[in-house]
Amino acid sequence: MKITAIETVVVNAIHRNWIFVKVVTDQPGLHGWGEATLEWKTRAVTATVEDLKPFLIGEDPARIEHLVRRMTHFSFWPLGAIGLSAVSGIEQALWDIKGKALGVPVWQLLGGRVRDKVRVYTHLRRAKIGAQVGTEDISAFCDAVQETVEMGYAAVKLGFVPYSGYDAPLPTVCHVEKLAAAVRERVGDGVDIMTDFHGRPQSIDAAKAYIDAIAPIRPLFVEEPIQPGNTPAMADLARRVECPLATGERLFTPREFAEVAETRAVAYIQPDLAHCVGFSGGRRIAAIAEAAGMGVCPHNPMGPVAGAVALQFDVATPNFVIQEEAVGLVPWFRDICSAYPLDLVDGFWRAPEAPGLGIEIDEAAAARYPFEQEIIPAMEAALPDGTVAHW
């Protein structure tokens, strides 16, 4: 069996373009799907997929580790977020091919499933674009959270913290404290609440002020309280606060996660399989975390193929905790799939049984939503004095 073509299919999802990667073989009808979505870098990622083709065409798709090494070692220059996203989409598609060829779901190739179902969480109103609610009106925000829970979720991630600088103004901190308390009171103790800071605070002290305000509601974790990459600072912060911390969506390599594990900088890591070299990188990262006693909560606010990939990974990963999803992002989330494994039942996804990833993209349906320049919410990220802030 040989690889004969590698194609990309781009589907516009308003705030991002989903980048699906299709690897085609010389066996009639046998192909694999992956997802390499990287917000606001669509053209760069699809071009990188083209650049990687010479390392793959004519090769045996079953030699996954060998092909990953060809893509990463032959590239010479460190690949970074764009390059590793392209590699990740291709790598996932290779596993899809292998599972289909052997007639088994990918989780069987990862050592078998360790659980029967996968707990998931979503964002406010399932991340539906145009249906978000600002934090200024606490009552309206709580109504939206309650509505989300009533969709069948027992866990939800929310954004409590505004664009921030090096300080945390007292009125803002007090509002965040009231908002968090109101949300907890509304949903009760049976719903896990997570909050994503997006790395907005630019100092440890500012981050700590907001975390301390949220701590009384006992969130499952506080995500990216400071910008990723400064692991010593994250470890310092972790020792100053009472909340579990999480990070990892903007880390890509086992070495980066090893530093997090070595310093016990967070309680949970959040690798994104669309950026960390898919299953190959994700498995290494999960093993590093397990050795350090850390749970895995994979990042994934992207398209249906990324969700299918995450589901296979989660089923077979012992230290998995909870999975992010955003299946309500756009109305056509499911319409572009001719096979789809991501049905929510009592707050869980069920272990899939179909061969490969268990998902197929309907390319004719996908073509109805071609690439468009995304609406970029980060363009609004500014402090009151006009200083550009971290989105």
Q: Give the catalytic positions in this structure.
A: 198, 299
User: Cα dihedral sign for 10, 305, 78, 270?
Assistant: positive
Report yes or no: 211 and 222 within 8 Å, Cβ to Cβ.
yes
Residue given tokens 């027992």 in the structure block? 154
How many other CB atoms are found less than 10 A from the CB of residue 283?
20
Measured between alpha carbons, how far is 119 from 286 in angstroms, rounded to an integer? 17
How many other CB atoms are found less than 10 A from the CB of residue 236?
15
User: Cα dihedral sign for 278, 283, 289, 294?
Assistant: positive
Q: Are strands 337-339 and 360-361 parallel, antiparallel or unpaired?
A: antiparallel
For helices 138-149 and 170-187, give the axis angle rounded to 10 degrees: 40
Q: Which amino acid is at 364?
A: A
User: Cα dihedral sign for 368, 335, 100, 117?
Assistant: positive
Please choose, from the candidates 39, 26, 125, the residue with its C-alpha nearest in 3D space to the C-alpha of residue 306: 39
Residue given tokens 């109805």 in the structure block? 368
Q: Which DSSP symbol is given to 40?
A: T
Report yes or no: 294 and 258 within 8 Å, Cβ to Cβ.
no
From the CA atom positions of the chain, what is the Rg in Å? 20
